Amino acid sequence: MACHKASCAEARTIHTAQPPVVTMVDVSLSGLVKRFGNSVVAVDHVDMKVPDGEFVFLLGPSGCGKTTTLRMIAGLEMPTEGRIEIGGRNVTYLRPRYRNVGMVFQDYGLYRHMTVFENIAYPLRVRRMSREAIAAKVGAVAETLKITDVISRGPDQLSGGQLQRVAIARMLVRDANVFLMDEPMSHLDAQLRAHMRAELKHLQKQIGTTTIFVTHDQLEAMTMADRIMVMRKGLICQYASPREIFELPANQFVATFVGEPQMNILDCRIERRDNAWFAAGEGFEVELDSCWLETSEAARRSDRPMRLGVRPEHISISEAPRDGYTVAASMFAFEPTGAENLFTVKAGPHLITVKAPTAETQRFNIADGARVYLKPDPARLYLFDADTEKTLTQAAACQPVQA
Amino acid sequence: MSLEANYLVESPTAPARERNWWVYLILFAVCFINFVPYLWMILTAFMDKGTSVSAVPQWIFTPTLEAFTYLVREKRVLDNLLNSTIVSVASTFFSVLIGTFCAYALARYEFPGKDDVSFWVLTNRMMPPVAVILPIFIIFQTLKLLDTRLGLILLYTALQLPFVVWMLTGYFRDIPKRFEESAMVDGDSWFGAFRKVTLPLMTPSITATAVFVLILSWNEFAFALYLTSVQSKTLPPSIMAYAVGVNVQWNILGAACLFITAPIILFVLLVQKQFISGLSQGVVR
């Protein structure tokens, strides 16, 4: 009899135990397509591999298909074509409840009629965990996220930051194989967002669960990601590390989308004079380093329209015409931001943004139309094809980055 | 005089306190117009025959239960009350039950002809009852449903369904899909998410809709008049009997009206809080 009882207890513990924790969880998407109706292609042949434990960002403007991609990984949207694998398991057309993913929604999706505790406990209740086990788990996760004191309140009594924490707690409370986050910070104010960025990054590394994060905020992606996938109109633009995205953008879209303020883009043509290469457009002429122009056949063609790209922080500005400051411009607008100043200047028909340290520029004449001279850093120039918008070559190609 | 001077607004000195006595004046007028007839009806119900027919309205009299005794003993009005209760509660239950699922489908899922379905549901409501009384009478005769409660329950359920579907579709649309999606990602089935997450949030709206439907079914007159005679006669047609004829007995009519209005009024007072929060849901957030 005693023996029977013991085996019963044993059976129960086995029943309530968590599913075996899968140690290596990589996510792989291949040829993923989602069409809505007959005409709208939201996601167009997306291929992506997320290695185990990485923090990967889907970045793009609204309507680029990043949220749809995430929803397909969660199983809330079924793909039209393609294959989704989580931890080597094909989950393409599996219902969400069997995928073992945790998700945070943009508006958190917290249940208004339940307290914080009940909200966090929901995924455990669904799995019929014992009352004590639930209390212990919820207590532990609330401790981690510092929401212990609001645990018995309703969601409508919480601040934005607390709501966000509760949503994250609900995602963390069970041992999900993959975490998915759909713009979870878009409702927070700027200060709180900066704080949560650091905290979330720390938490992700601590827990080490593969995480996919959707955002339209390039700063969020740049600061937190191990890897960023930039999307546009359902297509992948580039899938690389933040540094590579910033320094070696695959096309003009990626170059302008990442970085604040955004990269200056100037229509130009390539000219060769006196054994030197120039990028010349209306109102400016910039000498190009021949070393990196040699790397690309296409970039040396002088017969086709091109675009010169240079980031605001890679332009030096001077009030006096000095050596190398070849672009003459006039002051258009001045925005002080504290440690750095933003100048918008006019060169011919182009408006060029320049970012310069306040220490160097605080005595500048900022009157409208005041004369200034610009010098783009020759090692930080980009050339884009005007038709395809692809990056033809870039100065940084001479010094390969460590991705 | 400058041009601006023509547009100057001369302000009186600010009053010492807010002047809003006129709000109470309007409220009082509205209440008076609404409640005095009802009050008179209640008073009439407790008069004897002589007092109720006197030419000069008498506000002070000895109350008597004469009219009520007559209705309960002679006319068996409690049977009608029972019929009314069973028919309206049952039809409310079924129409809300079926309507909830129908409204959920219309609010959440995309399917071909969705707009046609919801419009077609509404058109059922546009038909005047008189236009279909005859065919329904013949159908009921064939199916032997005449003068049965079951017949009325079926009919009222069908009648109220469009109303329920239209009310609830709007309320379901106001509840973000996120709630169910997050429950499903968290490991729940579709029905589990619906029952545990969506339905509790819908309770006030469903209550409000149910109250409306209950009132409509309770007061339904035309079909009840033609499709019932003795067994399953509900209150509205039975009360009409006291309002026609040359010698209307006012005290009996008053008592009968009290029988039909009192249960609903008491019920609405009981669920008032839920009812109002349901009605204002989606408007005030």
Q: Which residue of B has its CA nearest to A106?
A: B178
Residue A190 C-alpha, separation from nearest chain B C-alpha, in angstroms: 24
Q: Has residue B7 been placed in a domain?
A: no
- For residue range B130-189, list pLDDT tens digits in order: 888 899 999 999 999 999 999 999 999 998 999 999 889 988 988 888 888 889 988 888
Same domain membership, residue B115 and residue B29: no
Q: Which residue in the set A102, A111, A174 is minimally distant from B197, CB to CB?
A: A111
Same domain membership, residue B56 and residue B84: no
Chain B positions touching A96 (Cβ under 8 A) are 181, 184-185
Structure tokens at A177: 């194989």
pLDDT on residue B177: 85
Verify whether the Cβ–Cβ distance B182 to A75 is below 8 Å. no
Residue of B109, B181, B182, B190 to mutate for A, most A C-beta atoms under 10 A:
B182
pLDDT on residue B1: 55
Which helix (H) or strand (E) covers residue A107, if one does? none
Q: Exposed e or buried b for every residue in B91-113, given b needs 16+ CB within 10 A? A: bbebbbebbbebbbebbeeeeee
Q: Which residue in the set A108, A112, A122 is minimally distant from B186, CB to CB?
A: A122
Domain boundary among B42, B64, B86: B64
Chain B positions touching A126 (Cβ under 8 A) are 183, 186-188, 192
Q: Has residue B217 been placed in a domain?
A: yes
Q: Which residue in the set B178, B187, B201 is minimally distant from A97, CB to CB?
A: B187
Q: Which residue of A has its CA nearest to B199?
A: A113
Chain A positions touching B189 (Cβ under 8 A) are 97
Is the minimum CB–CB distance between A19 and chain B shorter than 8 Å? no
Domain interval for residue B150: 68-280
Structure tokens at A376: 């783009």
Domain ranges of chain A: 27-247, 254-398
Same domain membership, residue B76 and residue B59: no
Its sign, for the CA torsion A223, A229, A233, A234, is: negative
Q: Has residue B113 been placed in a domain?
A: yes
Residues 152-171 of A with CB under 8 A from B: 170
| Nearest residue to A155 (alpha-carbon basis) of A166, A146, A147 | A166
The single residue listed with the structure tokens 């999606």 is B181
Q: In the A/B pair of chains, how many CB contacts fall below 8 A?
A: 58
Q: Which residue in the set A97, A123, A180 is minimally distant from B189, CB to CB?
A: A97
| Number of domains making up chain B | 2
Q: Rounded to an integer, what is the distance from CA A47 to the centroid of its chain?
A: 17
DSSP state of B11: P
| Nearest residue to A186 (alpha-carbon basis) of A217, A142, A219 | A217
Structure tokens at A73: 């990984």
Is the minimum CB–CB distance between B197 and chain A shorter than 8 Å? yes
Chain B positions touching A163 (Cβ under 8 A) are none
Q: Which residue of B has its CA nearest to A37?
A: B110
Same domain membership, residue B38 and residue B73: no
Residue B211 C-alpha, separation from nearest chain A C-alpha, in angstroms: 22
- Per-residue pLDDT 10s for chain B (285 aa) are 567 777 888 888 888 888 888 999 999 999 999 999 999 999 999 988 888 877 777 778 888 888 888 888 888 889 999 999 999 999 999 999 999 999 999 998 888 888 888 888 888 878 887 888 899 999 999 999 999 999 999 999 998 999 999 889 988 988 888 888 889 988 888 888 898 888 888 888 898 899 999 999 999 988 998 898 888 889 999 888 888 777 788 888 999 999 999 999 998 888 888 778 777 765 433
Which regions of B118-173 does DSSP assign to beta strands (E)? none
Position A221, amino acid: A
For A375-379, the CB contacts below 8 A with 24+ separation are A375/A315, A375/A316, A375/A317, A375/A318, A375/A322, A375/A324, A375/A325, A375/A326, A375/A327, A376/A286, A376/A310, A376/A314, A376/A315, A376/A316, A376/A327, A377/A310, A377/A314, A377/A315, A377/A316, A378/A287, A378/A288, A378/A289, A379/A289
Q: Has residue B198 been placed in a domain?
A: yes
Residue pair B125/B114 in contact by the 8 Å Cβ criterion: no
Q: Which residue of B has its CA nearest to A170?
A: B186
Is the minimum CB–CB distance between B192 and chain A shorter than 8 Å? yes
Is the minimum CB–CB distance between A335 and chain B shorter than 8 Å? no
Residue pair A60/A15 in contact by the 8 Å Cβ criterion: no
A376: cis peptide before it, omega within 30°?
no
| Nearest residue to B223 (alpha-carbon basis) of B161, B164, B156 | B156
Same domain membership, residue B23 and residue B136: no
Is the minimum CB–CB distance between A86 and chain B shorter than 8 Å? no
Same domain membership, residue B201 and residue B82: yes
Is the minimum CB–CB distance between A102 and chain B shorter than 8 Å? yes
Verify whether the Cβ–Cβ distance B185 to A96 is below 8 Å. yes
Same domain membership, residue B245 and residue B120: yes
Split chain A (403 residues) into runs of 10 and give each run's mean pLDDT. Answer: 42 42 79 88 91 92 90 92 90 90 87 89 89 90 87 87 88 89 86 87 90 92 93 91 90 90 89 81 81 70 83 89 86 89 90 89 83 86 86 64 41
Position A207, amino acid: I
Q: Which residue of B has its CA nearest to A72?
A: B185
Chain B positions touching A111 (Cβ under 8 A) are 179, 183, 197, 201
Q: Which residue of A has its CA nearest to B111?
A: A37
Q: Which residue in the set A100, A109, A174 is minimally distant from B181, CB to CB?
A: A109
- In whole angstroms, give the CA distance from residue A56 to residue B109: 32
Same domain membership, residue B273 and residue B180: yes
Verify whether the Cβ–Cβ distance B185 to A101 is below 8 Å. yes
Residue pair B98/B104 in contact by the 8 Å Cβ criterion: no
Q: Which residue of A has its CA nearest to B110?
A: A37
Is the minimum CB–CB distance between A95 and chain B shorter than 8 Å? yes
Residue A162 C-alpha, separation from nearest chain B C-alpha, in angstroms: 18
| Terminal CA-CA length for chain A | 65
CATH code of the domain in which B252 resides: 1.10.3720.10
DSSP state of A380: G
pLDDT on residue A397: 54
Q: Has residue B38 been placed in a domain?
A: yes
Verify whether the Cβ–Cβ distance B185 to A113 is below 8 Å. no
Q: Would you tell me the crossing angle of helices B199-219 and B250-270 to the nearest 10 degrees?
A: 180
Verify whether the Cβ–Cβ distance B176 to A107 is below 8 Å. yes
Dihedrals φ, ψ of A186, to 5°?
-70, -15
Residue of A35, A111, A171 to mutate for B, most B C-beta atoms under 10 A:
A111
pLDDT on residue B29: 96
Rg of chain A over Cα atoms, rounded to whole angstroms, equals 26
Same domain membership, residue B124 and residue B55: no
CA distances in angstroms from B61 to B48, B51, B68, listed in the order given = 9, 8, 17
HSE toward the beta carbon, residue A61, CA cutoff 13 A: 6
| Nearest residue to A204 (alpha-carbon basis) of A225, A173, A230, A174 | A225
Q: Which residue in the set A108, A113, A126 is minimally distant from B187, CB to CB?
A: A126
Q: Has residue B250 been placed in a domain?
A: yes
Q: Has residue B1 been placed in a domain?
A: no
Residue of A97, A98, A114 to mutate for B, most B C-beta atoms under 10 A:
A97
| Nearest residue to A389 (alpha-carbon basis) of A238, A261, A200, A275 | A238
pLDDT on residue B143: 94
Class of A254-398 in CATH: mainly beta
Verify whether the Cβ–Cβ distance B185 to A76 is below 8 Å. yes
Same domain membership, residue B111 and residue B217: yes
pLDDT on residue A278: 83
CA distances in angstroms from B147 to A225, A257, B140, listed in the order given = 73, 74, 9
Q: Where are the alpha helices (DSSP H) in A208-351?
A: 218-224, 242-247, 252-257, 290-293
Chain A positions touching B185 (Cβ under 8 A) are 74-76, 96-97, 99, 101-103, 180
A342: helix, strand or coil = strand
Is the minimum CB–CB distance between B147 and chain A shorter than 8 Å? no
Q: Has residue B35 been placed in a domain?
A: yes
Same domain membership, residue B124 and residue B104: yes
The CATH architecture one would assign to domain A27-247 is 3-Layer(aba) Sandwich (3.40)
| Nearest residue to A300 (alpha-carbon basis) of A277, A280, A281 | A277
Which helix (H) or strand (E) covers residue A117, if one does? helix A116-126
Structure tokens at A236: 């992948």
Q: Which residue of A has its CA nearest to B180?
A: A109
pLDDT on residue B100: 94
Same domain membership, residue B247 and residue B194: yes
Q: Which residue of B has its CA nearest to A174?
A: B186
Residue A228 C-alpha, separation from nearest chain B C-alpha, in angstroms: 24
CA distances in angstroms from B255 to A350, B42, B180, B262, listed in the order given = 88, 7, 50, 10
Domain boundary among B6, B40, B64: B64
Residue pair A375/A315 in contact by the 8 Å Cβ criterion: yes
Q: Rounded to an integer, what is the distance from CA B20 to the centroid of its chain?
A: 33
Q: Which residue of A has its CA nearest to B177?
A: A109
Could you tell me the pTM of the whole model? 0.77
